[in-house]
Structure formats: structure tokens, C-alpha cells
Amino acid sequence: MGFNGIAAAAGTWELGDLTVNRLGFGAMRLTGSAAFHLGAPRGREQSIAVLRRAVELGVNHIDTAAFYFSALRSANELINRALAPYPDGLVIVPKVGPRRDESGGWATWATPEELRGQVEENIRQLGVDHLDVVNLRVNRTGSIAEHFGALADLRKEGLVRHLGVSNVSVKQLAEAQDIAPVVCVQNRYGIDTRPADSEEVLRVCGEQGIAFVPFFAIAGEGREQGAPATHDAAVTEIARAHGATPAQVRLAWTLHQGPHVLAIPGTGDPAHLEQNVAAAALRLSAADLTRLSSLPSGDPQRLPRP
């Protein structure tokens, strides 16, 4: 099938040899999980319907992870149930690295040797024979060479086609690039949540042709809780002027940061899905962008979460 719906309005980018629309979808919020502060999940059939509708709207880039689960839902299982057999051109991008214990609480980070099992578990849950792209989610301290090297070995074996990294510094990105090509960087970034080095990471990715994929672009300081209940006056006023929602303005601002910038908003609500995807067509003026970019941004120093 083609992916020419409204999600294509923001254009495309290449993840290695895979073409994706810049407006994608994040599956974390479908699960409902105390570990992610998400509360109760939506109904299973509604979550399945949201995934199918996302693809109908042209979404062909889905972010997920085997550790996106709750007592009731698994993101990968929902994706498998909703979309398999997968249409040609659909790119599903799991993350590996963090570990959760049997109760769902956060355990330790995976060792390099344990990453094979995490990759194989994502393959099993999604019902595929390899992963098109896998992101290594890391702690923002220290070397990532051993972990990324382990994934590079799996790439050579054919279990993984392309590699990405998440929550990295410029130094860690360079370290990974010395081992194997990196096609995407998934870091926290938004109008009001830009860590100190985020502009440098964004710039380096653009210079090297690497996709920059912000997470929590809508949620900002709300993180897992979703879109904030209140927005800065500038966001609200610009949204009103465009006949848009504040969340759409946040997504549009994200996509305006460069042709290599992607967006992966997540939701379990069908109406919010339609609004999020429609943000691909929202064009902000230079004055809008300047005003939004001048808003204060936080540099949160918190325990990294996936």
C-alpha cells in the first residue's frame, strides 16, 4: 500500500534505505502502565483501531519497545494484532536497553550480552524475521561502545537492518558512528524542554544526514502524562490564529526545526490521533517560530527513562 495520507504532508526522510513520512506514531501510550505514569489503558479494540487508522492516514513509522507493556497491554502485541501482515513500506522501530522485572518495575540496564535477547524478543512479539531499525536507549553517562558494538554484531548477522541511538550526547553519538552507521537519534526535545546540548545534537544530526526524532515533543514537562493541561500564552495564541490546537502547534514547531526532524506523537484517542497527524500540514510563519523558540526551556536532570 502507499503512504500518501495527511501524514505525508510534512515530507519524508530516509532511515538508511527506508523512506518514512516525517510524522509518525509512538506506541507507548497505548499500553497504560504505572511504570510510565500512564494510568489505565484504552480498550484493546480502540487501541487496535487507532493503529489501523494511523496507517490509513499515512503513518509508516511506528516507535515501540518490548518494554512498553502493562498488566493488560503490550505495545508490540497490539501492533502485531492490528497491522500484520505488515504493508510494504511500514517501518517499525523498537528500542532496547532498559530492563523491567516481572512486576513491571524498572530493573537494571541490559548488559551487552543481553541485547541479543531483547532484539529477539521484539522480533518474536512483532512476528517478523528481523528489525528494520532498532534504537539503543542509553543512560546519558559513560561509554556506549560495548552496547552499540553488540547491536552492530547483530546487524552483521541480519537480525537488524539499521541502528539508532536514544538519549545520547554528541560524544556518545560520535562513539557509535565509529562502530557502525547511525540512521536516527531519538532524544528528548520540545518547545519548553531542550536539554543544554540538544541544539548541538540537532545540528550534528542534520550535518550528517541522521534523523533526529524527539520524544515528549507534545508533553514537554508533562513527560509520560501527555499534553499539558495549560500552555504558554504564545502557544495558545498561535494555535488560535491558525485554527489549530496547542498540541498541533508543538508538533508543527518540532517539524519546522529541520527536514531531518521527525515526530512520533502517541495517543490512544482516535480524535487526538487525527489532530496529531493533521499537524503535518500546519505551516508556521517565521514570526511564529521565532516567538516559540524564544520561550524558556527546561534542562531537566532526572533519572533517564525509556
Catalytic positions, written as ranges: 68
Q: How many residues does the chain have?
A: 306
Task: Please check whether residue 84 is in contact with residue 127, taking contact to mean a CB–CB distance below 8 angstroms.
Answer: yes
Q: How far is Cα 113 from Cα 110, in angstroms, rounded to an integer?
A: 8
Task: Please check whether residue 254 is in contact with residue 214, taking contact to mean a CB–CB distance below 8 angstroms.
Answer: yes
Q: How far is Cα 228 from Cα 283, in angstroms, rounded to an integer?
A: 22
CB atoms within 10 A of CB 243: 8
Say how many Å lie between the first and final Cα of the chain, rounded: 31
Task: Give one DSSP letter per residue of 193-251, joined into a string.
Answer: B--TTHHHHHHHHHHHT-EE--BSTTTGGGGGG-S-SS--HHHHHHHHHHT--HHHHHH
What would the grid cell of residue 20 be? Answer: 518514512
Residue partners of 183: CB distance under 8 A and separation at least 6: 14, 15, 16, 133, 162, 163, 164, 210, 211
